[in-house]
Amino acid sequence: MKTSANYNFQATEKKWQQVWRQSVCANKPVAAAAKEKCYVLEMFMYPSGRVHIGHVRNFMIGDVIARFKKAKGFDVLHPVGWDAFGLPAENAALANAVHPKDWTYENISLMRKQLELFGFSYDWDREFATCDENYYAVQQKIFLDMYKKGLVYRKESMVNWDPVDNCVLANEQVIDGRGWRSGAIVESRQLSQWFFKITAYANELLKSLKSLEGWPEKVRAMQERWIGHSRGLMLRFEAKDKDGQSLQDLSVYSTRPETIFGASFLAISAQHPLAQKLAKTSSAIAEFINSCSKNSVTTEDMDKMEKLGIDTGVQAFCSLLGDRALPVYIANFVLQTYGTGAIFGTPAHDTRDWDFAKKYGLPIKLVIKPSAGNDVNLQAGSYLGNGTMIDSEFLNGKTAPEAKECIIEHCEKTGVGKASEFYRLRDWGISRQRYWGCPIPMIHCQKCGVVPANEKDLPIALPVDVTFNQPGNPLDRHPTWSKTKCPSCGAPAHRETDTMDTFVDSSWYFIRFCQDGASDLGKFDRKQIERWLPVDFYIGGIEHAILHLLYARFFTKALRDCGYINLNEPFSALFTQGMVCHKTFKHKDGRWLAPDEIESKKGEAICKADGTVVDVGRSEKMSKSKKNVVSPDEMVRIYGADSVRMFVLSDSPVDKDMEWSDEGITGCWRFINRFWRLVVMFGEKYSQTKKASPSFIQLDCLKHETKADFKRVLRSISQIGGLYEVFQFNRAIAAVHDAVNVMYDLLNHVESYSDAFRDLLLLTNVVMAPITPHLSEEVNQKLGNPKMLSETCWPDFGRYELKQEMVTIAVQVNGKLRATLEALPDAMQSELEHAARNINAVKKYIPAGGAKKVIFVPGKIINFVV
RNA sequence: GCCCGUGUGGUGGAAUGGUAGACACUACAGACUUAAAAUCUGUUGUCGGUAACGACGUGGGGGUUCAAGUCCCUCCACGGGCACCA
């Protein structure tokens, strides 16, 4: 498809990839303590079998930063690895009769080859997979240490059970009531599970979010919400039956205790102990509770769900309210899992309570009066704003926030209540009933109970001889694997057959990368780890905003407290990139068509097979089901790695979604050839005219208009470093385009300035190199630079005088542009004003009396106000 | 419902409060070619005008300012996240 007259990317890319691999210093951080370190990391990949173009975009961001920082003189760590445990390996085992281990390592080697095509500057010597025995051995050791520290426990609990994957899911892995991977409706089951006590860090995880200034505001907000801190009052009520007999105490938590005097009912959840008790004697209550448990948990249903309740006949008393009793309802909108599973309802100041009161005819009493002029219509809805307390006894006259503090204090003093805090965050359940994961190093002994495995027995390795021909966990039915001796009493015992959630594996992999191959990987090498951490640039998708990033933060803090490392936060800067999208094509018969089944004719998309016109849909995230995917290998084969590398960063800012298009990728391919041609054309001229010429550094020797062009190119490329720093690769590429366009013009009168032009090409090439390293290395060689590009420093543009000699001044009248003026940058107002007044286009707008006022911004603008 | 984004030509997108539309794509024209492709050179926000030029123009409305895509208020549309969290 592409002719040989062009830049030969096939040969060139292969050649330099080989050279880089052999060169000692190209991809590896040099042990240079004097240099400042820079740890660049992209979220590692699950070895599904194929590298997706979205991965390429992710890795490209990291690669540009890594190469750029290296050129800037940093000691750079840029590793790569594999998040290799997980369910798909078992599914593949089931479907294709291959062992998960073979499937995984096979995929890794396929994907490694794909990655190699792109020339990423990875330190391949540090590569590992989380299913490597020497990786998960350390993970088991960490688990035991966390157990000793009280950060791991086992409890019977209701869990999210995915009936398709036959597996437990963490709360974070349930999305809209469905399993995050299988999409099946999640069921509740009672099981014994291992938990990490992430809630012990709820406060710290929340507080230190503030210190993460290099994180997107959005991700911090999502985590903050997920941890969900609230502060309020725990208030004690007494529940009495209709005969006035005391039933039990009822604790009610509220974040708005100041509204208590407006309360008109109490509501408890269907799972509340009192509800369960009452159900035994009332069939109506039992029936209601039963109907609540049937409620679906999907988003749409929740939206539509009506607030329902049943009056239990129970009365609740609180000394704050004197003799006034509140009726106790069981309500479907009260959650047992938050607070105490009981609330007091203040219909005037809460939307849900208002809905409920309307439905059941309960009083709606205003206790917060809005400031003057704002009328409240309690018949239309609740009032959620601020104001002054009324009808609230000792709170009257205070503002709502003041009243909140006041009532908390009052209740603490009188003992009727207590200031309380709650978090939404739950402990992290990590038990998975799967084979392909890190075994939990615990042992069940009939006599001693659950005991940790001996450290000297680590790793507890996965057995290889397992079968996948029936549902459930293969470790459970392995004839011998789980049989062992109790480390404590020596009696026969059996191993825990659950394995760890794979999110555990990815919670500390960035720490392992810090150790080089020569170190003892069985232990934490603090010196190496603390040299590199924290990660300076962490790059990945927004979909990990909560799960992975929260777990990794938790692990870092837990490892700190177990004495492994001295670090509070693992990632100083986080960058979330957008997705790669593509148009979709739908055949008239309803089939989705792949991009390579389409050709475009006269602006219409035509199906190659039968010539029919195809419906072109909007650009969407690439997905196999809609066939709107492109293969990275195929793209490299047709256009070369540098074209693909350039395109994924080209048009859109990298934090936004981009659209993959044929026009876009061919555009990049054309640019690469265009730059190459520029170098070739220059080379031909240069060899003919080689003679004494000024070095371009002495810009004064150049002709005026040539000098201006030189300066313009220099200005364009000099900004590129700054643009890399702030991840504005699309603008960096625009600057490169601009520079190359100017150089094409320059080439026409370059004869007498050839050395200077050569320098200009070399400089441009250096700043392009992080994006198009193969092309740049080749150009560098062709221009006769003896030093390899990967060893070349970033140019110091400070040594060039880049100021423009003439600037264009905008001449405005009343802020409207009427003309422009060429002037020296430091021209005085008086002379410019005089010149501007004499321009006809300006003169006609200025009245005879002259301008009222003249605004002058040196070097930029002169504005006549008339 | 709440929170966070986003809104600029035919398209992707640029613009420290200071010449809106950089750069790229598409389209069109010219050069080269027997021809096509590729390449090179132009043009390409809209309306009016042969032109010079003029008017309009950054989702809508209002405001601050000599000057607003940019700041403030308000409304609309789209996208994402959370969702009965007491």
User: What are the pLDDT digits (tens) for A664-678?
Assistant: 999 999 999 999 999
Name the nucleotide with the smallest C1'–CA separation from A355. B84
Give residues 510-539 of chain A lying near strand B (Cβ < 7 A): none
ipTM of the complex: 0.94
- Listed residue (A504, A587, A588) closest to A547, CA to CA: A504
CB half-sphere exposure, A262, CA atoms < 13 A: 27
pLDDT value, residue A751 = 61
Strand segments (E) across A269-416 = 309-317, 326-331, 342-345, 368-369, 388-389
Q: For strand B, which nucleotides have at least one atom less than 7 Å from a protein CB? A: 1, 3-5, 12-16, 18-20, 22-26, 38-42, 53-54, 66-68, 80-86
Burial A483-513, CB ≥16 within 10 A → b, else e: ebebbeeeeebebbbbbbbbbbbbbbbbbbb
pLDDT value, residue A253 = 93
* A112 C-beta less than 7 Å away from strand B: no
pLDDT band for A196, please (50, 70, 90 cuts). Answer: very high
Please confirm whether the linkage preceding A459 is cis (ω < 30° from 0).
Answer: yes
More confident residue, A177 or A11: A11
> Which single residue has its CA nearest the C1' atom of nucleotide B27?
A603
- What is the reported pTM? 0.90
Name the nucleotide with the smallest C1'–CA separation from A744. B40
pLDDT value, residue A296 = 45
Name the nucleotide with the smallest C1'–CA separation from A337. B85
> Which single residue has its CA nearest the C1' atom of nucleotide B66?
A865
pLDDT band for A385, please (50, 70, 90 cuts). Answer: confident
Both tokens assigned to A244: 């006035």
User: What are the pLDDT digits (tens) for A14-36?
Assistant: 999 998 887 654 445 555 566 89
Place of tokens 């104001």: A387
Cα A354 to Cα A344, A345, A782, distances in angstroms: 12, 8, 77
Those residues whose C-beta lies under 8 Å from the C-beta of residue A736, and which sit 6 or more positions away, are A716, A717, A720, A764, A767, A768, A771
CB half-sphere exposure, A487, CA atoms < 13 A: 14
Give residues 471-500 of chain A lying near strand B (Cβ < 7 A): none
Instruction: Share the mean pLDDT of chain A.
Output: 86
Task: Give A209-213 contacts, CB < 8 A, sequence gap 24+.
Answer: A211/A568, A211/A569, A212/A569, A212/A571, A212/A572, A212/A574
Task: Report, in angstroms and rounded to the nearest whole number, the Rg of chain A calculated over CA atoms.
Answer: 35
Q: For residue A10, which phi and psi values (nearest 5 degrees)? A: -55, -55
CA of A846 to C1' of B67 (A): 17
> Which single residue has its CA nearest the C1' atom of nucleotide B84?
A333
* A298 C-beta less than 7 Å away from strand B: no
User: What are the pLDDT digits (tens) for A619-678?
Assistant: 778 877 778 888 999 999 999 999 999 999 998 899 988 889 888 999 999 999 999 999
Give residues 638-697 of chain A lying near strand B (Cβ < 7 A): 650-653, 656-659, 661, 663-664, 666-667, 670-671, 673-674, 677
Distance CA A732, CA A737 (A): 9
Name the nucleotide with the smallest C1'–CA separation from A663. B25
* A861 C-beta less than 7 Å away from strand B: yes
* A341 C-beta less than 7 Å away from strand B: yes
* A175 C-beta less than 7 Å away from strand B: yes
Distance CA A673, CA A775 (A): 9
> Which single residue has its CA nearest the C1' atom of nucleotide B53?
A841
CA of A361 to C1' of B8 (A): 53
Taking the CA atoms of A844, A850, A851 and A856 in sequence, report the sign of the dihedral they define. positive
User: What are the pLDDT digits (tens) for A395-435?
Assistant: 888 888 888 999 999 999 999 999 988 898 989 989 888 89
Amino acid at residue number A172: E
Give residues 687-746 of chain A lying near strand B (Cβ < 7 A): 728, 730-731, 733-734, 737-738, 741, 744-745
Q: What is the 3-state secondary structure (H, E, C) of A549-599?
A: HHHHHHHHHHHHHCCCCCCCCCECEEEEECCEEEEEEECCCCCEECHHHEE
Name the nucleotide with the smallest C1'–CA separation from A860. B18
Contact A809, A829 (CB under 8 A): no
- Listed residue (A814, A816, A805, A854) closest to A834, CA to CA: A854
